[in-house]
Amino acid sequence: MKTRTYTTDGPTATRRLAAQWSKRLQPGSVVALIGDLGSGKTCFVQGLARALAVDGLVSSPTFTLVHEHAGRLPLYHMDLYRIGDPCEALNMGLDFYLYADGVTVIEWAERVAGLLPSHTLTVRFACGEEADQRRITMLDDEDIAWERCTTP
């Protein structure tokens, strides 16, 4: 089991880490971002967007469920913070994005844990000891399977 945790010392480092990590992304990739408000999920997506040569500002799609960005690969950026239950996400078209042609990145993905494809890549975020530190853990496929079984 390969689980790697990185500590970043500010938003720039988090974006840089995301850009590095994004090399493994390909058409159809699904990325689940898990962590509290302010833990750096959207910041991480900004780093992915830069690496995918996406134009324009990347901000949380809080009121629309998804922002679509054109880039080297299409980037579908979802935020499920406000959904009530997985059915609501399905009704809003979640399935399309889980099996799409681009890279789908989902903040608060634990809300639809049982629906995520088995190839989903999971990244966890937590605050560190210092104010600007974030602990960012990349989980491999084995961890994702575990995740799907244990998240209600």
Asked if 10 is part of the footprint of ligand ADP (rule: CB under 6 A), the reply reads yes
**Tokens 């903040």 appear where?**
107
User: Computed over its alpha carbons, how large is the radius of gyration of the chain?
Assistant: 14
Asked if 41 is part of the footprint of Mg ion (rule: CB under 5 A), the reply reads yes
Contacts of 113 (CB under 8 A, 6+ apart): 147, 148, 151, 152
Asked if 135 is part of the footprint of ligand ADP (rule: CB under 6 A), the reply reads no
User: With CB cut-offs between 5 and 8 Å by kind, which of ligand ADP, Mg ion, none does residue 7 bind?
Assistant: none
What's the CA gap between 4 and 16, in Å, rounded? 16
- Scored b (16 or more CB within 10 A) or e, 23-57 reads eebeeebbbbbbbeeebbbbbbbbbbbbbbebeee
The residue (of 46 and 120) whose beta carbon lies closer to ligand ADP is: 46
Q: How far is the CB of 42 from Mg ion (least distance, A)?
A: 3
Q: How far is the CB of 113 from Mg ion (least distance, A)?
A: 18
Q: How far is the CB of 34 from Mg ion (least distance, A)?
A: 12
Q: How far is residue 126 from each of residues 88, 117, 145, measured CA to CA in Å?
A: 27, 24, 21
| Size of the residue set binding ligand ADP (CB under 6 A) | 20
Are the beta carbons of 46 and 74 closer than 8 angstroms? no
Contacts (CB under 6 A) with ligand ADP, residues 42-71: 42-43, 60
Please pick, from the candidates 27, 38, 93, 117, the single residue that binds ligand ADP as defined by CB under 6 A. 38
For ligand ADP, the binding residues (CB under 6 A) are 8-11, 13-14, 35, 37-43, 60, 107, 125, 132-134
